[in-house]
Structure 1
């Protein structure tokens, strides 16, 4: 092939991700790579929380359609936004080297969560973050916050929020820490990240010549970690519509797994934290999901959906 076309959302973070893949592929294969911008429903419908309008698939459907119509060969996603199942003809080809997967709090006035005043206004679009924030500080006033990262930071600076919570990966990729006074990173014991947070997923047409060009983007450690996390979500049938966090972190021949799910108001939850051998990663996500189900996870998630 002489040219690859990447279908991309037009947000600043999506463009950064696509440009990063473009640069990598051009250096690796000496091939021309171009970006084709699309608006997705997730970029247009900003008035409602994601959980109420269909979840994270809203950020991928238009990009997938462009590939199926042969207008593009691949799309670069934040892997946490990618559903477990793909349309016929498309495939998740590669998972990139992972950025730090933690969440972080941004504020103009308050250095850390404990410094926030009582009933402080916190902006986040994530029910997972809302639940865990309330576990740390039950007094907080959690308010839904949609839009691109720059518009969210503008609302913080305008005083609409005392703090907002974003993925550390996006903060680092776009140098957002230079735009605010304080960035406080949550430990994974304080806030368990979303499945696949910090990793990029490269979805493409399932054609041998395209697959062979993209496989160089795969990172073994990221594949191991996100396989556990995505299997956990897939078996539980949970996404951004419910408060659920899962993180696997590889340390040499061991993997540290943390998982949590519960009700948005944090009144009930299940949580696990343990180590496994690296060699057991292929079955770990499914086994953990089945354990959660045996403890009542399905009922809890059903009740969580009813509260949205």
Structure 2
């Protein structure tokens, strides 16, 4: 066996929510099947602890990954498995995205105990989401709805719905499917109606950038079409200064070597209409994917979308 293929002893840093553990255990099983010794290091992040305020007001989605990165830096763990839509567009110096895995369903799901879809909701119904992207897209579909904040892990959000705090909530279909909760999905939104977030449904694995042995070990888990697609999506957000404080959607579909990329930007105060942009191009490299994303961001700005500075 070559040194490059030698088994490694790997510790995965993970949040302790049920979905995060599923994701980490999924990667653990794939790596163990390739002969590596793999253990989990469960951690609670600030994003998990602060539940009374929206992420856009307390530091953004990076709150879900910072403690995991500290564990990598200190050597207590070697890799971190993330929902890619929670990963900031710029990684800290010394860290790298070593692998993007094949995407699960990227769409948003409509979840309600009483109503089959968004059109069936009564006038003024209460819909839960803390995503500014979902808020502006829901407002565009149904301006009459009352959008209320919804924080917590997947089980907590479903419990709040079942307690009657909301008429419906909107969640990522991927998380529900991964946890065997697909039966809770009453309807999935067509991307044309509710454009997904950059990276939604995809898992990314982060490492210290100097760990070439880990990068090599993770290479067989990568799915290149997904990686190219989410690179383009994330490039839109990066070029717009995107974080969870920005109501921005970006979603690509990869067919026959051609990447179709769609994006939308909205005004949370509903003072301006949605700005949409779309383009397609042949893509075979990450640089080409990111160039397409940059071009889409320019079109959004030209259409009136306002960029933002990332949160510190």
TM-score (ref. length: structure 2): 0.92
The answer as to 2:230 corresponding to 1:264 is no
Runs ≥4 in structure 1, deviation > 6 angstroms?
none
Per the alignment, residue 203 of structure 1 pairs with 206
Q: Judge conservation of contact 1:228–1:281 (CA < 8 Å) in 2.
A: yes
The answer as to 2:158 corresponding to 1:153 is yes
> What root-mean-square deviation, in Å, do the aligned CA atoms of Structure 1 and Structure 2 show?
1.6
Q: Judge conservation of contact 1:130–1:265 (CA < 8 Å) in 2.
A: no
CA distance in structure 1 between the aligned counterparts of 2:73 and 2:145, rounded to whole angstroms: 45
Map Cα deviations across residues 108-167 of structure 1 (whole Å, 9 max, x no partner).
Answer: 000010000111010011010010001000000000000011111111111111000000
Q: 1:291 aligns with which of 288, 292, 299?
A: 299
CA distance in structure 2 between the aligned counterparts of 1:235 and 1:222, rounded to whole angstroms: 20
Q: Judge conservation of contact 2:22–2:178 (CA < 8 Å) in 1.
A: yes
Secondary structure at the residue paired with 1:297? coil
- How do 1:74-113 residues align onto structure 2 when only pairs under 5 Å count? 74-113=79-118
CA distance in structure 1 between the aligned counterparts of 2:217 and 2:252, rounded to whole angstroms: 28
- How do 1:93-172 residues align onto structure 2 when only pairs under 5 Å count? 93-172=98-177
Q: Judge conservation of contact 2:264–2:300 (CA < 8 Å) in 1.
A: no
Q: Judge conservation of contact 2:278–2:296 (CA < 8 Å) in 1.
A: no
Per the alignment, residue 238 of structure 2 pairs with 234
Per the alignment, residue 281 of structure 1 pairs with 289
CA distance in structure 2 between the aligned counterparts of 1:276 and 1:214, rounded to whole angstroms: 28
CA gap 1:272/1:159 in 2 versus in 1, 3 angstroms: same
Return 5+ residue gaps in structure 1 as ranges.
none
The answer as to 2:218 corresponding to 1:214 is yes
Return 5+ residue gaps in structure 2 as ranges.
1-6
